[in-house]
Amino acid sequence: MQTVVLNTGTRMPILGFGVYQIPPEHTEQAVAHALAAGCRLLDTAAAYGNEEAVGRAIKSSSIPRDELFVTTKLWIQDAPAEQNTRRAFEKSLSKLGLDHLDLYLMHQPFGDVYGQWRAMEGLHREGLAKAIGVANFYPDRLLDLILNNEVTPAVNQVETHPFFQRTADQELMREHGVQIQAWGGFAEGKNNLFTHPVLSDIAKQHGKSVAQVVLRWLIQREVVTIPKSVRPERMAENTDVFDFELSDDQMATIATLDTGTTLFFDHHDPAMVDWLSKRRLND
């Protein structure tokens, strides 16, 4: 598996498996299939409600812990943020059945971001989180966090797909040693991604699927990606993307699909800020 090197020196697989929107009762089997397909990067979150199922799949596998790269995410914490962040981390770690995380991400750029980050820095210093990072941070918020804290985020996980490519954002991250990671790499099929004529034509040229072309496009841009599926055949297809390469012309053609805007939700929208900031996890 191809890897990227984080600013901690840790190697992270460039392709993994995400469990967003997989119901807990189906997650354990899905993760087992993903591991069997060769995935070693697993991405979950407290807000997904399926950390325990991911943990069971890890425990049931025969894969050594040091061959896995496990990520989960911190939801917005009430004050006192530092104390509650550590409590939330310990709860996630217990649900996963692990003694450390490879990557711990702040899920949203809201609430007491600095208090949460200070607590995450502590977890990192103690070796409980080998790397720490953020998700859904736009460049202004990311740079503010970098400039006013000791530890630079290792990763920023953001919406990234052919219709919202984040090229300038990635360049800023690269300048500051932050690895970009994509969520929604397939845009959840929006804009008819899987039948899009441009992507379909490129896929035909390589004898591959549109999904494989999109994953290959992300990989060639050095974007870590975590496609989700509950079908073993799709998981196997998603990992079969290292035996071909998109040409410069094909990469440039895909670049023309960028709309420069989200297809999901805008973190600058006051209504979305209000909704996310008021949401609390039941546990």
Whether the per-residue pLDDT at 79 is higher than 60: the answer is: yes
Residue 41: both structure tokens together: 């990067």
What pLDDT sits at residue 278?
Answer: 85
Q: Catalytic residues, which ones?
A: 48
Q: Where are the alpha helices (DSSP H) in the chain?
A: 24-36, 51-60, 81-96, 113-125, 139-147, 167-175, 197-206, 210-220, 232-239, 248-255, 270-278
Read off the pLDDT of residues 206-264 as tens digits, 9 standing for 90 and up: 999 999 999 999 999 999 999 988 888 999 999 999 999 999 999 999 999 999 999 99
**Look-up: residue for tokens 């039941």?**
282
Confidence of residue 161 (pLDDT cuts 50, 70, 90): very high
- Rounded to 10°, the helix 51-60/24-36 angle is 40
Domain spanning 3-278 has what CATH number?
Answer: 3.20.20.100
Residue 113: both structure tokens together: 């971001």
Distance CA 123, CA 75 (A): 16
What pLDDT sits at residue 25?
Answer: 92
What pLDDT sits at residue 282?
Answer: 64
Whether the per-residue pLDDT at 283 is higher than 80: the answer is: no
Q: What percent of the chain has pLDDT over 70?
A: 99
Read off the pLDDT of residues 38-61 as tens digits, 9 standing for 90 and up: 999 999 999 999 999 999 999 999
Read off the pLDDT of residues 87-98 as tens digits, 9 standing for 90 and up: 999 999 999 999
What pLDDT sits at residue 78?
Answer: 80
Read off the pLDDT of residues 109-138 as tens digits, 9 standing for 90 and up: 999 999 999 999 999 999 999 999 999 999
What pLDDT sits at residue 270?
Answer: 94
What pLDDT sits at residue 156?
Answer: 98
